Amino acid sequence: MEEKRIKIKSQMPLWQFILAMIVLFGIAGGVLYLIFNQSELSSHTRYRSWELIGFIFFIIPFLYKDVMCKKEYLSDIYITEKDIILVYKIRDKITKTKVLEKNNIKSFILNADINVVGSGKTTRTEVTYNFFIDLIEGQDVDISDISDISITEGNYKFIFRILDIASYIPNFKFNLNSNNEAIEAEIDYYKRFKKTLPFKTKFKMNMQKSGLIGKILVIICLIGLILSLGMMAIVNMPAHLTPTEKQYLEHIENSSNCKRNYDKALDELDKAKDLISTDPYLYYKYAYIFKRQKDYSSAIHYANLGISKLGNKEIYYKQYKFIRANTDIYLYELLGDCYFELKDWQRAIENYTLLINSKHKWKYSDVYFSRARAYFELRKYKESKNDLLKHKEIILDYLKTYSQDTYANTYTQEHLANIEKWIESVEAWEKYSENGF
């Protein structure tokens, strides 16, 4: 017969432990970098990151204990045509082998206690096994161990491998004691059919033992898993773009990478326009560049062109299936800013108002502050004060929702102090104008 080998137990080699430490410390270092880089993580994520680091350092002593354990253990069983060879190790080094002639084995008994212990997050499978080999001549062999004593040990799957070669072991007997019906059924099924219990059967058995709330939770989790997998597949499915659309988007991307080389950026946009001239986002890009150049009249011209194209298919957002196209917001805000710079306060207010009344209604936005400044220039102090108070409310809501160190460049106490100064100034001008000055 061909030699059979059964893996009973193993320990993590030192080189694997060192590699695991490098990986774990690398993860911990990356997480620490994100934690102390204040602009990257929310306070909630930072808290969870600390939990991850704590868990990493919690498991290191257990891994080390497993690697450095000097207790001798039964590692492998080899079965040849005439013999059964027991291999013992300390760490990953063989300490001794015991050769048992098959003709000398009166009985080979495997006793296994497989119990589910704990509850909730602490639930685990605890396996205690005992090999008792009764010899006709010589000293009997009695080997006991608890297979979950080490992190790297697995559970009761080695029993399946032993059952696979049970016919090659003389006078083999297997006794199982378990507090879990599913485990008993799984091992009994394997003894009879040499294959694991079908997932559907195992799942049905576990469901029968669960209460109504447990069944509902399992169903919700399964539905959530299916929906999540489906969503992941849809999100990662590449968008269908024609060759022309791909080339168009390349020119848009190139224009964004030109930074302050405005002539080159405009040249890329001209090339994009030659391919597709109906995308409103294209005209926003034109308007944005002219605004950066302080050519506000040209910026207004292209922004109005973009507004006239709203409703057409936005190729730029076609490649991002789940990102909402905000081109209308960008265009109206840009128009308002350009009219403000040209001191056309009324038109600036009109565009800011369109943005405020839009269906999008950004929660954290400077548009109220921008409109307040335009009202102030028109000496409409009451309207200016109302917008400033609304903007202050937005800042206070932000500071309450997020810790100040979460998004350092959005709103801070400095922004709040600045708005309060504006409010005081507008109130003073309002009072001054009411007194007829």
Looking at the chain, the whole-number percentage of residues with pLDDT higher than 90 is 33
Q: Give residue 362's pLDDT.
A: 60
- Domain map (residue ranges) of the chain: 1-197, 204-236, 243-434
Higher pLDDT, 237 or 139: 139
How far is it between the farthest Cα atoms of the chain?
Answer: 120
Tokens of 158: 């080695």
pLDDT beyond 70 at 422? yes
Q: Give residue 154's pLDDT.
A: 43
Q: Mean pLDDT over residues 9-17, rounded?
A: 75
pLDDT beyond 70 at 324? no
pLDDT beyond 60 at 129? yes
Q: Which residue do the tokens 């620490």 mark?
A: 32
pLDDT tens track for 160-190: 888 888 888 999 999 999 888 878 888 888 8
pLDDT beyond 60 at 42? no
DSSP-derived secondary structure letter, 166: G
In the CATH scheme, what is the code of domain 243-434?
1.25.40.10
Q: Give residue 195's pLDDT.
A: 81
Residue (of 228, 225, 107) closest to 175 by Cα position: 107
pTM over 0.85: no
Q: Mean pLDDT over residues 198-225, rounded?
A: 73
CA dihedral 191, 193, 198, 204 (to 10 degrees): -60
Residue (of 282, 344, 269, 289) closest to 308 by Cα position: 282
Lowest mean pLDDT among 7-16, 36-45, 77-86, 192-201: 36-45
Query: Rounded to 5 degrees, what angle do the CA atoms 161, 166, 172 make?
Result: 130
Looking at the chain, the whole-number percentage of residues with pLDDT higher than 70 is 83
Most confident of 339-348, 353-362, 404-413: 339-348
Lowest mean pLDDT among 75-84, 262-271, 392-401: 392-401
d(CA 305, CA 289): 15
Lowest mean pLDDT among 71-75, 131-135, 382-386: 71-75
3-state secondary structure 239-274: CCCCHHHHHHHHHHHHHHCCCCCHHHHHHHHHHHHH
Q: Give residue 340's pLDDT.
A: 94
Mean residue pLDDT of the chain comes to 81
- For 121, other C-beta atoms within 10 Å of its C-beta total 6
Q: Mean pLDDT over residues 189-210, rounded?
A: 74
Higher pLDDT, 222 or 359: 222
pLDDT tens track for 136-151: 998 999 888 765 433 3
Q: Give residue 304's pLDDT.
A: 94
Residue (of 413, 425, 350, 355) closest to 384 by Cα position: 425
d(CA 400, CA 14): 50
pLDDT tens track for 74-119: 888 899 989 999 999 887 788 999 999 999 999 999 998 888 887 7
Strand partners, 89: 73, 94
